[in-house]
A and B are shown apart, each in its own frame.
Chain A
Amino acid sequence: MSSSDPNKLISKADKLTKLSLTRWSADWKSATLLYEQAANGFRVSKDYEKAKLAFEKASKGQEMLASPWDAAKHMESAAALAKELRNWTEVIDFYRRASELYMQCDRPQPASDSLAKAARALEDALPDDAVQLYTDACVILEDDGKEQMAFDLYRAAASIYVKLEKFTDAATFLLRLGLAADKCNARNSQCKAYLSAIIVYLYAHDLKQAEKCYNDCSQIDAFLRSDQNRCASKLLSAYTEGDVEEIKRVAQSSTISNLDNVIIKLARKLPTGDVAELKEEAAKGEEEALDENDLT
């Protein structure tokens, strides 16, 4: 049966589903079966467009048969084929639909998985949408209480932001990662996340933000006691002293080499801009304070 022409199978299945005078109710069961076979046939013959269509119809059939799980699976296959065709809007649509169906089955993990797959597919083409998808995936997991799975997603989202040079957003994401890690008691990931956030701020040449971030993180006990804390304090003190050699040396240290690849690349490129002018700014700020005192 499956060896026969997939086109014929599709037309047959269509006939089964179309309501007409002779047919009062659509026979979804056999139709879905035929659709599935047709889709496999198309996939084998590498006719992606038709295969995608067939998978869509098969998924609809499964929905009608009240099995959202199979429907979601077919949607995912359709989306994978859409990715091959580089039809990005369809990719997003299909993966979102698949995730909704998974949620209907009360299975949040595959739901977030499908969103993550979508985001990964879109990373190069539509990075903003990709980030949105990653965020949604993380939200689903957090609602379910499974933050640990979200770590990878947060990291990927942060790296996309870094690529887009939106450093504040990247740092925000890393801090959210730290929060998630805190909930699961994953101290190492948490401290690494905070250190990465500080490095991102420094790369954006925003010393004040970095220091603020460092102060915030120092409130947290786990971070205070960790290696990453010492590394961060060394880095910040090197910045305030304007010591380029020290910055480079800290960036080469093993604590930083244990972080994410993207962050390591940023760290090695430190210091960006003129460290001396940062020192001057800091000194000027202090002087201005003194002047105010003199006036009063």
Chain B
Amino acid sequence: MTVIDILFRVDEICKKYDKYDPEKQREANAFLDDAFPRLYSLVEADIEKALAKSDKVSTEKNRAAAVALSAEIRRIKARLMEEVPKLQKLAKKKVKGLSKEDHETRFDIVLALPDRIKAIPDGSTAAASQSGGWGTSSSNKKIKFDSSEERLGSDFYQQTEESDQFRQEYEMRKMKQDEGLDVISEGLDTLKNIALDMNEEIDRQVPLMDEIETKVDKTTSDIRKNNVRLKKTITQIRSSRNFCIDIILLCIILGIAFYLYK
């Protein structure tokens, strides 16, 4: 059996026998009576989640994912800020079975909550420097997106290390691209020049080709005329009458030769 299997089985067994866990029972019972701890624990859990997400953001390479996570963190923070006044009211309420000191501590931790919430980094410090003015108008808690002045101090440096590198990389890539584009532009210049020269050369050849065409046309017509005349002359020479006369004379000569030989 592997370790993972063991872990799963243990988890299932614990879940099954949760109802026998005395500590958990006490918590559940406690929450039945007192809304404050319940709400407070929920807020705490949310803060933990937000902190975990902000850690993820700082290690996230993909810019889009980082931006999405930051937006989520901001939403969580806004919600938590809404919960804080509710908690404050609950803290003020008198609860039986709770000592005065506990009461005070509750009040204090509720007061500390807004600061804790605000301290969650949500990657909005770059925008905070531009919108520093907004940070001062803290009357409307619900709409506050950007960080206050103190956030500029601590988170600012953390971000610029990354953004510095990013900026350097960007500058280097831009330089390389510029160099490449320069090379391309020179090549294109040469090509353009060659193409224009070719254009002119071809323009130069055009009248020459026209001359060649006329001359060749004249020559072909001359040759045709000559051919016709030649044909006429040859047919005249080789006319059938002459041919028959040739054959007859040839036969007579052969006859004479035969006679002489005989």
Contact = CB atoms under 8 A, between A and B. Distances in A.
Contacts of A186: 200, 203
Interface stretch (B95-103, B162-170, B189-197): B189-197
Contact of A254 (B189, B196, B197, B207): B189
B203 A148 contact: yes
Contacts of A146: 207
Contacts, number: 23
A168 interface: no
Which range contains the number of A residues in contact with the other chain?
Answer: 10 to 19
B79 to A, nearest CB: 62
Given A188-B196, A188-B197, A258 B190 contact: yes
Q: Which of A149, A186, A189 counts the most chain B CB atoms within 10 A?
A: A186
B182 to A, nearest CB: 10
Interface SS majority for chain B? helix
Contacts of A149: 204
A185 B196 CA distance: 12
A165 B207 CA distance: 36
Contacts of A255: 189
Nearest to A147: B204
Interface SS majority for chain A? helix
Contact of B190 (A184, A188, A254): A254
B199 interface: yes
Nearest to B211: A109
B21 interface: no
Given A188-B196, A188-B197, A254 B203 contact: no
A146 B203 CA distance: 12
Interface in A257-273: 258
Interface string A148-163: 1100000000000000
Interface of A: 146, 148-149, 184-186, 188-189, 254-255, 258
Interface of B: 186, 189-190, 193, 196-197, 199-200, 203-204, 207
23 contacts: A146-B207, A148-B200, A148-B203, A148-B204, A149-B204, A184-B203, A185-B203, A186-B200, A186-B203, A188-B193, A188-B196, A188-B197, A188-B199, A188-B200, A189-B200, A254-B186, A254-B189, A254-B190, A254-B193, A255-B189, A258-B189, A258-B190, A258-B193
Given A188-B196, A254-B186, A258-B189, 4 more contacts: A149-B204, A184-B203, A188-B197, A254-B193
